[in-house]
Amino acid sequence: MEKIDKILINAKDIKNRVAQMGALIQTDYAEKSPVLICVLKGAMVFYSDLVRQIDLPLIFDTISVSSYGAGTSSSGKINIIKDLDCDISGKDVIVVEDIIDSGLTMKTLTLTLKNRGAKSVKVCAFLDKPSGRRVDFKADYVGYQIGDEFVVGYGLDFDGKYRNLPYIGAISLDEGERE
């Protein structure tokens, strides 16, 4: 069984950082009406906090994607399980993601959205794990950079659990549990 080893980022720090990120987006997108895309399910909690820190006429949308397994090469393919509802052509798009690890999901998704004719595509990720990168990818807005550890809470899961924790915790896994 896994267990929470330590609290990496507490709820108060999360709140302050999300407010800063929202303020930055509000400034950068002044006079605009960007489409904020929530990448389900991991970004749900971050997304719901972030949007309430941005005083702009935002358009909400959601997408659910699955990346191919770790064994597959950077083929540039993702599986869209639930697609967007709106047409993003000509729109300013901000993809809201929980964490960037290998970078494969965001690199591919942003390319897909650009190919649909979005006017601009930026990525706002709450966490960034640079040590996991397999492709060159940099998010435009990042809450925190973290080291090579597996984190849960604030939307992030292990085996479907822990998404509802109000903080980011690091978990330790028994041997063989970590892919």
Cβ–Cβ under 8 Å, residues 59 and 34: yes
> Residue of minimal CB distance from Mg ion?
42
* Residue 128 binding partner per list Mg ion, ligand IMP, none, with a CB distance cut-off of 5 to 8 Å that depends on partner kind: none
Using CA atoms, how far apart are residues 111 and 118, in angstroms rounded to an integer?
10
CB of 100 to ligand IMP, least distance (A): 5
156 binds ligand IMP (CB under 6 A): yes
The question of whether 101 is a catalytic residue gets the answer: yes
CB of 67 to Mg ion, least distance (A): 8
Nearer residue to ligand IMP within complex by CB, 32 or 178: 178
Using CA atoms, how far apart are residues 112 and 110, in angstroms rounded to an integer?
5
Choose, from 92, 98, 101, 128, the residue flagged as catalytic.
Answer: 101
Of residues 96, 154, 147, 95, the one with CA closest to residue 120: 95
Strand pairing category for 151-152 and 168-172: antiparallel
The interface region with ligand IMP, picked from 27-35, 49-57, 101-109, 113-121 by CB under 6 A, is 101-109
42 binds Mg ion (CB under 5 A): yes
8-27 residues near ligand IMP, rule: CB under 6 A: none
Using CA atoms, how far apart are residues 139 and 133, in angstroms rounded to an integer?
12
Cβ–Cβ under 8 Å, residues 135 and 74: yes
On the question of a cis peptide bond just before residue 41, with omega within 30 degrees of 0, the verdict is: yes
153 binds Mg ion (CB under 5 A): no
Q: Which residues bind ligand IMP (CB under 6 A)?
A: 42, 67, 97-105, 129, 150-152, 156
* Residues within the interface to Mg ion (CB under 5 A): 42
